[in-house]
Amino acid sequence: MYNILEAPFMKEMIDTVSNMYAHGWDERNGGNVSLLLTEEQVRDYRDINSVIRTIDIPFDAYALIGKYFLVTGTGKYFKNVKSNPAGNMGLFRIGKDGKSAELLWGYDDGGRFTSELPAHLMSHIARLSVDPDNRVVMHCHPTNLLAMTYIHDLDEKKFTHTLWEFSTECIVVFPDGVNVLPWMLCGTNEIGEATAEKMKTARLVVWAAHGIYGAGKDLDETFGLIETAEKAAEVYMKCAALPKINTIKDTELKELADFFKVTPREGFLNL
């Protein structure tokens, strides 16, 4: 059995959450990440038959029974993950009842998974239904995207179009656009259900006055999605109060999409 701290997925998870904190996206204990793993990835590092303890899940995750997840802990600070991975993250399997997590590693101080776990699991289910290769759900509080929700129309087409318009990379990186939810109480099944529904049509879901959810095939892709949207939001926020005399035209956005062989979300370009 190998040291789990040497596992490639563990090293990448630690590097990613540390980078998220360094970017200022995850103040205090804000933000959470869940990584879906295969049994093949896990069994070289943990005895999959040795369950440390069982933790109830406030959501019926029957669609994910037997799936393995590495998830950040509730109340944990991302800045501490690198120095104490086992105290700030946990590796568990969804139990046979679909309503429990069988802890295989981590949460050493008696802790548990993020309070947003229902939203994560619902989003995994939604993304897997449209992309069987999806492995990551990431939630954080990027400053400029958060600020943008206070001054910009929350209509999804308008919000997406602004991001596309303010950075050449955006339509290439997220041609499926950005979905938006109005303010909702976090940590509830209701916001999880609403987020999951939005995840069926886009990999980025903005929570107004709160942050963003991103999903992807791996940690790099998901981080990059959020990073690209946040850069465009930063440029927008720097320009929002100024007269706009130049822009990327919709015909040029279409040219970009054609060149990079991506399909913009239907109806989001004004052509």
Same fold, 1-114 and 116-271: yes
Q: By C-alpha distance, which of 57, 93, 62 is closest to 74? A: 57
> Which neighbouring-strand residues pair with 180?
206
Burial of 19 (0-12, 13-18, 19+ CB in 10 A): middle
**Distinct helix (H) and strand (E) counts, the chain:** 10, 9
CATH class given for the domain over 1-114:
alpha beta
Please, which residues have CB within 8 angstroms of residue 8's CB and are 6 or more apart in sequence?
none
Topology of domain 116-271 in CATH is L-fuculose-1-phosphate Aldolase (3.40.225)
CA atoms of 199 and 176, how far apart (whole Å): 10
Query: At CA 233, angle to CA 246 and CA 146, rounded to 5?
Result: 150
CA atoms of 72 and 173, how far apart (whole Å): 26
CA atoms of 30 and 114, how far apart (whole Å): 10
> Which residues of the chain are modeled with pLDDT < 50?
none
Catalytic residue among 116, 156, 230, 234: 116
The domains of the chain are located at: 1-114, 116-271
CA atoms of 200 and 88, how far apart (whole Å): 30
CA atoms of 204 and 212, how far apart (whole Å): 7
Q: Is 116 a catalytic residue?
A: yes
Stated pTM of the model:
0.95
* Residue-level pLDDT at 239: 95
* Residue-level pLDDT at 187: 85
pLDDT tens digits, one per residue of 15-34: 999 999 999 999 999 999 99
- List the structure tokens of 241: 């109060």
